[in-house]
Chains A and B, each alone.
Chain A
Amino acid sequence: MFKKFNPTRKIMGRIFLWFWVTFLVTAAFAVVGTRFFFEELEVVDIKPQDVRALSAFASRIQRNNAKQIPLVNLLNRLERDRRWRLIAVNTNNKQIIAPSGPPLRNMDARALQNLIGQESAIAIKRGAVKFSGPLFFNYQGERYGLFSAKFDRAAQNKPSFLLLFIIAILTTTILSWLFARSLTSPILDIQSSAKKLASGQWDTRVGFASSRHDELGELARDFNRMAERLQTMWGAQKRLLADVSHELRSPLARLQMALGLAYQQNVDPDTLTRVEREADRMEALVAQLLTLSRVEAGHVLLTKQLLVDVLNDVFTDADFEAQSKNKQLRIAQVPKITVEVDSNMLCRAVENVIRNAIRHSRQLTSVAFEHDDAHWHIIISDDGDGLSVEECEKIFSPFYRATLARERESGGVGLGLSIAKAAVELHNGVICAEPQSDKGLKVTLSFPF
């Protein structure tokens, strides 16, 4: 399940992830870095309640003027009431009097020392800490500015931070996606064209990708040139086949007709029979050769269908042929599997193998089926004389005859199994023959699902 959705298995996903992560990391560094290194001091509106509180503190300090308490202790005591830090800065020597607690950062201290010249109270913020002040008071003969420092929680959890994060994610996602797509969509375009071309749609061309000015556009244009050439060659090949077919058959047709005339004119019938037999043989040979080259040229039209629907007619016909030869054909139950095949080609392969088996069988030819997750097999065996292992390897080569005399008698020209092999290979399948343990030959046609 994960495999299917694993984005790293697609270029699009990988480019996308790379850029997206890069964007995000860069953005994160930028944000954290600026926060860390350049924490900006900013002036914010001072809240009236802060001013009131400060002035209340200032007057409380002044009320304690008569007692001999050090200012630090006084601030400490006052601080306990509230959740604030109170910091006093001497206006003369700019000495900072801060109660116990975490020490004041240097830069903050400097900022406060600068603010002491301020006439009225303001508020400044650095990061999450907000300083308000100064409010002036006199204590034991010295003049101080009083500041309050507090963590501005609300300000630290800026609502904008989450928003910023979402915006960052969104923008980087969209940008990376667009970028990745701009790279992969022409590749996908070329890929789908290549797939169509491979399946025999010779007029396929890459569309918009070929108008790009980059390397991918170049690739698309080269692909189109290649497709153009393939189409031309395919056309030429087909024309040649048709021409050869026509040119070879016309004289054969005339020869047959001349034979007819010769019979009519009572020419020596024995001689004529021989001529006729050779003409028939030549004819069968031409037909088979053309079929072979047509199959080898490999123009397939794959469609999904039930295996039983594809083979039904072949079996009916083969059964008919076996019966006419007083032999038996036993066909196992065809499994209910859906296969993607060129039915014409598959029928041709099965037909040729079965007819060959029937021809060489003594009595019985049987057809069986097997299938697992990845492959399906048609197994055709006969009870004839069989072949040696070496012969089994050769029977698929054109014009190979295991037993010359008998093949000629039966009218075969030695191409049927070559045609079957080519047709099976068109489906990325494998055909193999092996001698059976007891008797006869077993031919297995295996196909991937």
Chain B
Amino acid sequence: MSKEFHLQSVLVIDDDIELTDMLSTYLSGMGYSVNVKNDGEAGLSEAISGHHYDLILLDVMMPKMDGFDVLQKLRASHTTPVLMLTARGDDYDRILGLELGADDYLPKPFNHRELVARIKAIVRRYTLSAGGGTEQDLFINGIFLSPSRQQVKINDTALELTTTEFMVLRLLMLNAAQRVTKEQISLKVLGKPLQAFDRSIDMHVSNLRKKISAVVPGDKIKTLRGVGYMLLVE
């Protein structure tokens, strides 16, 4: 990881102009460089423009192109971390967002401290996964994971994982054949203590499973009901 100082950049895509104004001021005050787009289309083209973003804050309810569409199109080519702002407070929204590959979600209205905590957690995860140059490559049960190259391969087929999925897999592989509790995953990957009635860990693992089983049939990750997960060695 480079030690020189650089501002972490955040792209905010939300149609509420008053809110984005304040968000922009607030996040700048917290030391982020912030870019704002007030509709889905502009947001998407900015996100895939080649400009590097450490994080995208993406609202769900927007005219023209909603957050899910943006996320889906973005994920076709980019693994930039995405924090969804689900306005409807609907379980369905959260689950769909996570299914489409969002790294986390934050129901609107959100507390400003919560927002910063989530942003920090995601960005830290990202830099950890991207910059872990000294960490060894892992090869377990046909899955090859390279932290330095941020790459996962099964049978020479590269897997397109989001940062969060990558980190979950890495944690499971580091503890292969051992039980990894949801609390551990939440703390080490999402950077927050596990909350009751929160399904996001399950969604990330479920996405990971789907991506793995698309390449090789059979389940490599075992669910330990009510406890957590375990990566099978064979």
| A contacts, CB < 8 Å to B | 242, 245-246, 249-250, 252-261, 263-264, 276, 279-280, 283, 287, 290, 312-318, 320-321, 324, 344, 351
Closest A residue by C-beta to B29 = A264
- Interchain nearest-CB distance for A170 vs B (Å): 57
- In whole angstroms, how far apart are the Cα atoms of A315 and B26 in the complex? 39
Provide the main secondary structure of the chain A interface: helix
Closest B residue by C-beta to A242 = B88
A257 with B29: CB separation less than 8 A: no
A264 with B26: CB separation less than 8 A: yes
B16 with A253: CB separation less than 8 A: yes
- In whole angstroms, how far apart are the Cα atoms of A246 and B210 in the complex? 33
- In whole angstroms, how far apart are the Cα atoms of A85 and B16 in the complex? 116
B16 with A256: CB separation less than 8 A: no
**22 chain-A/chain-B pairs, Cβ below 8 angstroms:** A245-B88, A246-B61, A249-B109, A250-B108, A253-B16, A253-B87, A253-B110, A254-B22, A254-B109, A256-B111, A257-B26, A257-B112, A261-B25, A263-B112, A264-B29, A290-B89, A312-B225, A314-B197, A317-B197, A320-B194, A344-B91, A351-B197
- Interchain nearest-CB distance for B33 vs A (Å): 17
What bracket does the count of chain B residues touching chain A fall in? 20 to 34
Identify which of B19, B61, B113, B197 gathers the most chain A CB atoms within 10 Å of its CB. Answer: B197
A250 with B22: CB separation less than 8 A: no
A318 with B226: CB separation less than 8 A: no
B18 with A245: CB separation less than 8 A: no
Query: Contacts A250-B87, A260-B26, A317-B196 given; 15 further ones with Cβ under 8 A?
Result: A249-B89, A249-B109, A253-B87, A256-B111, A257-B19, A257-B112, A261-B22, A263-B112, A264-B26, A312-B226, A313-B199, A316-B226, A321-B196, A321-B197, A351-B197
B87 with A245: CB separation less than 8 A: yes
- In whole angstroms, how far apart are the Cα atoms of A276 and B89 in the complex? 19
- In whole angstroms, how far apart are the Cα atoms of A331 and B110 in the complex? 34
Chain A residues near B196 (CB-CB < 8 A): 317-318, 320-321, 324
Known contacts A250-B16, A261-B22; is A283 also within 8 Å of B112 by CB?
no
Contact of B176 with A by CB under 8 A = no
Closest B residue by C-beta to A286 = B89
Chain B residues near A263 (CB-CB < 8 A): 112
Chain A residues near B19 (CB-CB < 8 A): 250, 253-254, 257
Contact of B23 with A by CB under 8 A = yes
B109 with A245: CB separation less than 8 A: no
- Interchain nearest-CB distance for B89 vs A (Å): 5
B89 with A260: CB separation less than 8 A: no
A260 with B197: CB separation less than 8 A: no
- Interchain nearest-CB distance for B29 vs A (Å): 5
A258 with B22: CB separation less than 8 A: yes
- In whole angstroms, how far apart are the Cα atoms of A276 and B91 in the complex? 25
| B contacts, CB < 8 Å to A | 16, 18-19, 22-23, 25-26, 29-30, 61, 87-89, 91, 108-113, 115, 194, 196-199, 225-226
Closest B residue by C-beta to A255 = B109
- In whole angstroms, how far apart are the Cα atoms of A229 and B30 in the complex? 53
Chain B residues near A249 (CB-CB < 8 A): 87, 89, 108-109
Chain A residues near B194 (CB-CB < 8 A): 320
- In whole angstroms, how far apart are the Cα atoms of A16 and B214 in the complex? 57
- In whole angstroms, how far apart are the Cα atoms of A261 and B22 in the complex? 7
- In whole angstroms, how far apart are the Cα atoms of A363 and B111 in the complex? 31
Chain A residues near B110 (CB-CB < 8 A): 253, 256
- Interchain nearest-CB distance for A367 vs B (Å): 14
- In whole angstroms, how far apart are the Cα atoms of A56 and B30 in the complex? 138
B26 with A261: CB separation less than 8 A: yes
- In whole angstroms, how far apart are the Cα atoms of A344 and B95 in the complex? 13
Closest A residue by C-beta to B226 = A316
- In whole angstroms, how far apart are the Cα atoms of A351 and B115 in the complex? 26
A283 with B197: CB separation less than 8 A: no
Contact of A256 among B29, B88, B109, B198 (CB under 8 A): B109
- Interchain nearest-CB distance for A189 vs B (Å): 33
Known contacts A246-B61, A260-B26; is A252 also within 8 Å of B87 by CB?
no
- In whole angstroms, how far apart are the Cα atoms of A423 and B110 in the complex? 27
- Interchain nearest-CB distance for B135 vs A (Å): 31
Chain A residues near B18 (CB-CB < 8 A): 254
Chain B residues near A351 (CB-CB < 8 A): 197
A246 with B88: CB separation less than 8 A: yes
Chain B residues near A316 (CB-CB < 8 A): 226
A259 with B108: CB separation less than 8 A: no
- In whole angstroms, how far apart are the Cα atoms of A357 and B196 in the complex? 15
- In whole angstroms, how far apart are the Cα atoms of A271 and B14 in the complex? 29
Contact of B89 among A245, A256, A258 (CB under 8 A): A245
- Interchain nearest-CB distance for A93 vs B (Å): 109
Closest A residue by C-beta to B61 = A246
In the complex, the 10 A-B pairs of residues with the closest C-beta atoms, listed nearest first: A260-B112, A253-B109, A252-B109, A321-B196, A257-B22, A317-B196, A316-B226, A253-B108, A256-B109, A317-B197
Closest A residue by C-beta to B225 = A312
- In whole angstroms, how far apart are the Cα atoms of A280 and B225 in the complex? 33
- In whole angstroms, how far apart are the Cα atoms of A248 and B129 in the complex? 38
B22 with A246: CB separation less than 8 A: no
Closest A residue by C-beta to B202 = A313
